Amino acid sequence: MTGGNAIRGTRVGSGPTVGESERGEAAPRKRIDYWCANAHHSKPSFALDAEVPQEWDCPRCGLPAGRDEQNPPAAKRNEPYKSHLAYVKERRSDEDGMKILDEALARLRERKGR
């Protein structure tokens, strides 16, 4: 066993009991109620002068939560992953793609001397 100068049961930076005089005064707060589509209720606190958002992510399920218990916001629809080719096909028609391919092949043939 080590000497009697070991500090036990504390975490780094906790120090002795710290009162308001050392930390400064806490900002006045207000608690706002939010409900998600799964009927989870959360009550985050905000500073009195802070802008309160209309929606808040539910800490339990991650769905958007609103301030109206009877009419919570709907879950946002996640767009499926799109590949680079899918984005290209949105911008170009098949005819445009064939034209670009033909131009690229013609340049390659010119470089090879065919």
Binding site membership for Zn(2+): which residues? 36, 40, 58, 61
Q: Which residues are annotated as a binding site?
A: 36, 40, 58, 61
Closest CA to 53 of 70, 36, 34: 34
DSSP string, 4-41: TT---S--TT--SPP-HHHH-PPPPEEE--EEETT--E
